[in-house]
Amino acid sequence: METKNKIRVLVAKPGLDGHDKGAKIVALALRDAGMEVIYSGLHQTLDQIISTAVQESVDVIGLSIMSGAHLPICKKLTAMMKEHGLTGVQLVVGGVIPRQDIQTLEQMGVAAVFPGGTAFDTIVTEINQLFA
């Protein structure tokens, strides 16, 4: 595949939580699956995430959230993505996400949810399908 056709993913860690093992290993798995991956580093505000997404022209924003604050964060970020015209960008979320919240997240416009323990293959396949 030509480089320009590769899916570009921003793996981002919003908020104060510093447990970044999940974010980093998923970033490695996506890279090994042929995607272009940008990792944000820790303690990102939503403004910083949006601005990186714009600068890097990403196709996907993947949030890693372990703190339990996934609902308010995703609600805010989906609104901000609309404001900034990132309508073609897909938002996916992973981390400590209780099953009962998945539907709520999808209704907010989250394209896919990957609770902790999801197989790398599943994550890669589902992200690829968003652009099939």
Partner 1 sequence: MGVARYIKDDKGAIQEVVYQSGIKVKPVYGPEDLDAAGFSYEQDLGEPGDYPFTRSLHPQGYRSRAWTTRQYTGFGTPEQTNERFKFMIANGQNGLNVAFDLPTQMGYDSDHPLAEGEVGRVGMAVDSLKDFLTAFDGIPLDRIGSGLTINAVASIMMAMYQALGETRGFDKTRISCTPQNDILKEMIGRGAWIFPVEHGVRLVGDSIEYAVKELPRSNPVSICGYHIRESGATPAQEIAYAFEIARAYIDTVAQRGITPSDFVGRFSFNFNVYGNLWEQVAKFRAARKIWAQMLKQDYGVTDKKKLFLRGLFGGGGSGLTKEEPENNIMRGAFYALGAALSGAQTTALCSFDEAYTIPTPRSALLSLKTLELLMDEVGLRDTVDPLAGSYFIETLTLEMADKIKEEMAWVKEMGGIVSGISEGVIQKKVSQQAYEFEKGLQSGKYKKVGKTPGKEDEGAEVELHRYNEEWVGTSKDSLAEVKRTRHEKAVADTLRVLEKAAKSKDNVMPPLVDCCKAFATVGEMADVFRQTFGEWQEPVFY
Residues that bind partner 1 (CB under 8 A): 11, 15-21, 24-25, 27-29, 31, 37, 39-43, 45, 67-69, 72-73, 96, 98-99, 114-122
**Shortest Cβ 87–partner 1 spacing (Å):** 26
Please give the structure tokens belonging to residue 20.
């970044």
**Shortest Cβ 72–partner 1 spacing (Å):** 6
Helix (H, G, I), strand (E, B) or coil at 81: helix
Rg, C-alpha atoms of the chain? 13
Q: How many residues does the chain have?
A: 132
Please give the structure tokens belonging to residue 124.
């890669």
Pick 34 or 68: Cβ nearer partner 1: 68
Pick 88 or 117: Cβ nearer partner 1: 117
**Shortest Cβ 7–partner 1 spacing (Å):** 16
Cα 43 to Cα 24: distance, rounded to the nearest angstrom: 14
**Shortest Cβ 104–partner 1 spacing (Å):** 15
Torsion, CA 93, CA 94, CA 100, CA 104, rounded to 10: -10
Pick 85 or 117: Cβ nearer partner 1: 117
Pick 8 or 19: Cβ nearer partner 1: 19
Please give the structure tokens belonging to residue 18.
């510093």
